[in-house]
Amino acid sequence: MNRTTGSFVLVATLFAALPAAQGEGPAAARVQAEGQWFDSRTPLGDAELQLNGTGVRAVAWFKGYVVGLYLPQAASTASEAVAMPGPKRLQLRMLQTVPAEEFVKALNKGVTRNSTAQELAVLKAPLAQLARQVGALGQVRQGDVIDLDHQPGEGLAMRVNGTLRGDPVPGDALFAAVLRSFVGDRPYDQKLKAGLLGRKA
């Protein structure tokens, strides 16, 4: 499998999870997953979020990226994570270079699979705005850190390596839909869902 084909397969089918390797002691400042270090706590706006869980997307031996879910407090179920008020973050750490258009296809598929027809009607414009922002990247590169941040009242903001890309997508519905793609009834992968919710598959 060459690099381009592998990237396509990886993103089109999306994530399998591995549990994070915990640092020593209950107050460890960071946790490690697939060689990537995640801060156990991170600020977002005026809030401090905690790392709820991590997972790595892999197809056989081909590993694409690691994702961490940050929430105001711990959640062990999808309903808790989605309904929880306050800021939230999905942080993706790229292990491979992936064409942005394939990333967009995977995003659209995940949202569609985990939203009702009524929800999709509301999400059409916000999802298109986020898709344009991702598409403008051309590709997401190995080593990139992509933050999808939700701030109540502001919407979903995408940052790449700490730099805001485009205006935040207004509203709360889009982040909830993206989060359901990872932890909802039809997630990208059940092991990934379990990892992000801090439990074994």
CB 62 within 8 A of CB 15: no
Cα(67)–Cα(33) distance, integer angstroms:
9
Task: Please say if the pLDDT value at position 26 is more than 50.
Answer: no
Predicted confidence at residue 59, as pLDDT, reads: 60
Q: In the chain, what percentage of residues exceed pLDDT 70?
A: 83
The residue length of the chain stands at 201
Q: What is the pLDDT of residues 136-166, one digit of tens each?
A: 999 999 999 999 999 998 999 999 999 999 9
* Separation of alpha carbons 197 and 63, rounded Å: 20
CA-only gyration radius of the chain, Å: 16
Backbone phi, psi, residue 187, to 5°? -70, 170
- On the question of pLDDT at 78 being above 90, the answer is yes
Which residues, other chains included, contact 136 with Cβ-Cβ below 8 Å and sequence gap of 6+? 100, 165, 166
Is pLDDT above 80 for 38?
yes
Question: What pLDDT shows up at residue 141?
Answer: 94
Determine phi and psi for 143, rounding to 5 degrees.
95, -15
pLDDT of 133 reads: 97
| 190 pLDDT above the threshold of 90 | no
Q: What is the pLDDT of residue 24?
A: 42
Q: In the predicted model, what is the mean pLDDT of residues 7-19? A: 41
0.95 exceeded by pTM: no
**DSSP secondary structure letter of residue 50:** E
Contact 88, 49 (CB under 8 A): yes
**Joined tokens for residue 103:** 């990333």
Distance CA 170, CA 190 (A): 29
Quickly state the pLDDT bin for 64 (edges 50, 70, 90).
confident
**For residue 8, what pLDDT band results from cuts at 50, 70 and 90?**
very low
Split at pLDDT 50, 70, 90, the class of 90 is: very high
C-alpha–C-alpha distance, residues 137 and 75, integer Å: 32
Task: Quote the CA–CA distance of 92 and 29 in Å, as a whole number.
Answer: 19
Q: Does domain 3-19+29-196 have CATH number 3.50.70.10?
A: yes
Helix (H) or strand (E) holding 118, with range, is helix 117-135
- Side by side, the strands of the sheet bearing 62-71 are 41-44, 47-59, 62-71, 88-94, 145-151, 155-160, 163-164
Q: What's the average model confidence in pLDDT over 85-107? A: 93
pLDDT at residue number 200: 66
What are the structural domain ranges in the chain?
3-19+29-196
Q: What is the pLDDT of residue 199?
A: 78
- 201: tokens are 């598959």
> What does the pLDDT read at residue 201?
55
pLDDT surpasses 80 at 172: yes
86 pLDDT higher than 60? yes
